[in-house]
Amino acid sequence: MPVLHQMQVSGNCYKIRLAAHQLGVELTLKDYGLMDGATRKPDFLARNPNGRVPLLELEDGRNLAESGAILWYLAEGSRLLPADRWQRAEVLQWMFFEQYSHEPYIAVARFWLTFAPKEQLEKKRHLVPEWHAKGNAALAVMQRHLTDRDWFAGGGYSIADIALYGYTHCAADGGFDLSAYPAVATWLRRVASEPGHIPLEATW
């Protein structure tokens, strides 16, 4: 069975658990501490030189890092990834948006404001307004897109929705107020109603 090297509270790792659960893919979970630097030790760096989870270890020993790449690998040939060329490109459009314009602000604000030790947060406090401004800009883009659509990519619920759900559904942990984005809030409920949905807290 593939092993997901992960941190339970990480939205990036939750994306993988959620997609795997909805696809009926069984995974063994191997947990790492959020603050103990275990992913920066030589044995982990041999699997992922970037020293981060999620990391999917296949039964044949190959290792795949980056949540988007793992989602793509798991979803290939399934209902979570369209076959149509244009729709696949739309899926990638929103997955790249998530990694460049959304996660670096919304996930980072959540990490520092909710999980990091308070004395370390104080060293980052001056960055909070920028995280909030750029995170809110990403939420406004999502709001505009969802005003007349149910899903991010054409064709229906896909890994683009899972990628964006990972940190949007818990954005309040980073000090974001989703009541300003009603179409995003409706989409969050729509995603949570999909068959096989599991919450971030679920181990499986």
Ligand X SMILES: N[C@@H](CCC(=O)N[C@@H](CS)C(=O)NCC(=O)O)C(=O)O
Binding of ligand X by 174 (CB under 6 A): no
Q: Which amino acid is at 91?
A: V
Distance from the first to the final alpha carbon of the chain:
14
Residue closer to ligand X, measured from CB, 35 or 133: 35
Binding of ligand X by 31 (CB under 6 A): no
Binding of ligand X by 66 (CB under 6 A): yes
Residue closer to ligand X, measured from CB, 86 or 96: 96
Single out the segment in contact with ligand X by CB under 6 A; choices: 50-58, 73-81, 177-185, 192-200.
50-58
Distance CA 116, CA 134 (A): 20
For residue 120, how far is the Cα from the chain centroid? 24
Single out the segment in contact with ligand X by CB under 6 A; choices: 64-72, 75-83, 170-178, 195-203.
64-72
| Cβ proximity of 110 and 170 under 8 Å | yes
Residue closer to ligand X, measured from CB, 117 or 195: 117
Binding of ligand X by 153 (CB under 6 A): no
Parallel, antiparallel or unpaired: strands 55-57 and 3-6: antiparallel
